[in-house]
Amino acid sequence: MTKRSKESVFKKSSIPKSETPLERTTRVAREMVNKEAEQRLDKISRLRRTRLEREANQAAQVKDGNKG
């Protein structure tokens, strides 16, 4: 019988373990949530940029209107 060292017993194997159905579901759900969060942040920044541009244009129109 060969002696096993602590390193050989607890060493991570180079063979990746297969993904269980629960892990797969968790991974897919997290990917979906992350994708939705990214899309939401993109939409918020787009809307914010549009609102700031509109407010700047309105302020410029008010200044031009007060000169005449």
Tell me the torsion sign for CA atoms 58, 59, 62, 63: negative
Q: What is the pLDDT of residues 14-65, one digit of tens each?
A: 666 788 999 999 999 999 999 999 999 999 999 999 999 999 999 998 888 7
Q: What are the structural domain ranges in the chain? A: 26-68
Q: How many CA atoms lie within 13 A of 3 on its CB side?
A: 2
pLDDT confidence of residue 13: 65
Q: What is the pLDDT of residues 7-26, one digit of tens each?
A: 766 666 666 678 899 999 99
* pLDDT value at 68 more than 60: no
pLDDT confidence of residue 65: 79
Distance CA(63)–CA(60), nearest Å, equals 5
